[in-house]
Structure 1
Amino acid sequence: MSTSFNTSIVIPCYNEENGISNAEYSNFLNNNSEVLFCFVNDGSTDDTLAVLKTLKDKHPTQIHILSLKKNSGKAEAVRAGIQYCNFNFKHQYIGYLDADLATTLEEFIDLRNFLDEEIVFCFGSRIRKIGSIIERQNSRFLIGRIIATFISNILDIKVYDTQCGAKIFTREISEQLFQKEFISKWLFDVELFYRMILLFGREKAIQKMLEIPLKLWVEKGDSKVKLSYGVKLWFDLYKIRQEYKKIEKNISQCKLK
C-alpha cells in the first residue's frame, strides 16, 4: 500500500449517514489518484461508519477511516485526522473539508495551486459576488456576517470568512498549527489564525495566508451546531481572545528581556 500522496484531505463526520455522497467522492477519486481521504468518524450514533466502510471498499488505498470512540467535536476530529495523516503518510499538502461537500471537491483541490514557498495556508471564502453561486439561508448569512466581522476585528486582520470549512495547508505548517488541542470545539478556525499570528507575527502571517472567493458553495442539510451554542459562541470567542492575547503578551515580554 502506497503511503505517498500529493494531498491528504481530512473529513470530520458526525452522524453523516445521509449526508455523505459516495458517488461524488468515488468519481473524484477515480480522477485524482494523488489524493487521499481520511474520514474521521467522530463517535457517530447512526450508520456513518458503515457508509464509510462501503466507500473504502471501493477505494482501499485512497481512503482511510479514523474512528473516535466518543464524540469530541469538530475541532478535535480535524486535529486527530491531521495528526494521523502527518504521522502515517507522505504528502505535500493537507487540509480539511465538510463531509456534505458544500464546497465541491474540485474547487477545494484547486486551492492547493495557491500554496507555494510564501503562501502556506489557503482557505475558501463564501463571498457573494457576480459570477459566484453562494446558496445560504439569509438568516444564517446575516448572523454569519455579524460573527465574521467581530472575528476580523478581534484578530485585527482583514479576513472575510474565517469559518468556511475549506482550508488547506503545507504539511510543515499543519504540523505546528494542529499540535495542541483547541479551546473551542467549533471556533477552532479562529484559533488557527491566532496561531499563525503567534508563529510569524501579524504582518508576516498576513503575507503567508490567502483567502480565495469560492465560485460555488451550496448549503446542505442541517448544521451540526446547536442553536443553544449561539450564546456560548460569544463566550468561546472571549476565552480564545483572552488566551491568545496572554500568549502574545508573554512572547513580547520575553523578547524584551
Structure 2
Amino acid sequence: MGTCFFGRLHQFCKAIDANIPVTLINDGSSNDISAGVSFLQEKIGKEFNYLSYPKNRGKGGALKFGAVHCLTSSIMFTDIDFPYSIDSMKDIWLTSNKQAGIITGYREKEYYSDVSNWRTFLSKGLRMLNKTILSLPVNDTQCGLKAFDNEVKEILLQCETDRFLIDLELLLAVNKRSISITPVAVKLREDIDFTKFNSSVLLKEAFNFIKILVKYRF
C-alpha cells in the first residue's frame, strides 16, 4: 500500500509543481496497514496525516471525518488507489484553484469500456435519474474525484448520508444553495481494477436514494 500510494502521490505533486498536505482515512478496516502507514509517515513527513476509527462508516462518513481535520482552504478527495489519471487529478486541482464552489470529475463514454456491465448499468441508471428527476447541472454525481472550497466543506459536514450516495447529496445541497458546480472531464488509469459491489450495500443505498429524493426534490 505505502509504496504504490507514495509513487502516485509523488507523480501528482510533480505534475502540479507543489507539495501538498495529505490526509489518509482508514474507514474501519481490519487489515494491518501499519507498515504502509509508517512508510508514508517517513516519506511525506509532517504533511501526512493518518486518521482511523474502529467501525466502518462508509464513504460519506470517511469524507466528513477527514474534512473536519483538514485546515486548508480547499480539499480534493479520491480513493486510496488513485484510480484516475494524473492528468485528470491535475485538471481538477488547477480548476479548483481558480474556480469557487465544487469541481467534480465527469466520466465520459469511454469510461464504460473499462468497467463491468453491472457497474455500467448502475452508473447509467443513476445518471438518467439525476438528469430527469433531480435536475442537476451534471448527471455524473458518483465520480470519486472532486475538489471544493471551505463553503462547500461546511455543506458537506451538514449532509446526512454516510455511505455511497454522499456525492449525490453533496451536489444536491450545493445546487440548492446556488453554489457553482463545475464538471471537469476525467479518465481512469489504464491499469485500474475495480472491486465488486456488495449487494446488501446496494439495497441500503436504494433506500437512501429515496430519502435524498424526498429531502431535496419534494
Over 3 Å counting, the alpha-carbon distance change for 1:226 and 1:133 in structure 2 is closer
Local SS of the residue matching 1:159: coil
CA distance in 1, matches of 2:113, 2:20: 26
Task: Note the alpha carbon deviations across 1:118-159, whole angstroms, 9 max, x for none.
Answer: 542111111125xx8962223311221012211333321242
Ranges in structure 2 where 5+ consecutive residues have no aligned partner? none
CA distance in 2, matches of 1:125, 1:71: 27
Local SS of the residue matching 1:242: helix
CA distance in 2, matches of 1:185, 1:198: 21
Q: Which residue is 2:156 aligned to?
A: 178
Local SS of the residue matching 2:51: strand
Query: Equivalent residues in 2 for 1:5-154 (5 A)?
Result: 21-29=5-13, 32-86=17-71, 91-115=72-96, 119-129=100-110, 135-154=114-133
Number of aligned residue pairs: 216
Alpha-carbon contact 1:52-1:65 (below 8 Å) kept: yes
CA distance in 2, matches of 1:29, 1:116: 15
Alpha-carbon contact 1:41-1:48 (below 8 Å) kept: no
Over 3 Å counting, the alpha-carbon distance change for 1:104 and 1:47 in structure 2 is farther
Task: Note the alpha carbon deviations across 1:69-100, whole angstroms, 9 max, x for none.
Answer: 221111011111111013xxxx3321210111
- Greater mean deviation of Cα atoms: 27-36 or 104-113: 27-36
Over 3 Å counting, the alpha-carbon distance change for 1:134 and 1:51 in structure 2 is farther
CA distance in 2, matches of 1:20, 1:149: 35
Where is the helix percentage greater, Structure 1 or Structure 2?
A: 2
Alpha-carbon contact 1:40-1:77 (below 8 Å) kept: yes
Task: Note the alpha carbon deviations across 1:166-194, whole angstroms, 9 max, x for none.
Answer: 000123332x2222242341101111112
Over 3 Å counting, the alpha-carbon distance change for 1:184 and 1:133 in structure 2 is closer
CA distance in 2, matches of 1:106, 1:221: 20
The ranges of structure 1 where at least 4 consecutive aligned residues each deviate by more than 3 angstroms after the TM superposition are 17-22, 26-34, 115-119, 215-219
Q: Which residue is 1:210 aligned to?
A: 182
Alpha-carbon contact 2:85-2:187 (below 8 Å) kept: no
Local SS of the residue matching 1:53: helix
CA distance in 1, matches of 2:22, 2:113: 25
Which amino acid letter does the alignment assign opposite residue 94 of structure 1? I
Ranges in structure 1 where 5+ consecutive residues have no aligned partner? 1-16, 247-257
2:143 to 160, 164, 171: 164
The structural deviation recorded for 1:57 is 1.2
> Percent of pairs identical after alignment?
23
Task: Note the alpha carbon deviations across 1:212-249, whole angstroms, 9 max, x for none.
Answer: 111444542414x4122333322111011112346xxx
2:201 to 217, 229, 243: 229
CA distance in 1, matches of 2:113, 2:139: 14
CA distance in 2, matches of 1:239, 1:137: 28
Across the aligned residues of Structure 1 and Structure 2, the Cα RMSD in angstroms comes to 2.7
Which amino acid letter does the alignment assign opposite residue 127 of structure 1? E
Alpha-carbon contact 2:103-2:146 (below 8 Å) kept: yes
Q: Which residue is 1:187 aligned to?
A: 165
Q: Which residue is 2:216 aligned to?
A: 244
Alpha-carbon contact 1:19-1:100 (below 8 Å) kept: no
Q: Which residue is 1:220 aligned to?
A: 193
CA distance in 1, matches of 2:199, 2:24: 26
Which amino acid letter does the alignment assign opposite residue 71 of structure 1? N
For the pair shown, the structure with the greater C-alpha radius of gyration is: 1
The TM-score normalised by the length of structure 2 is 0.85
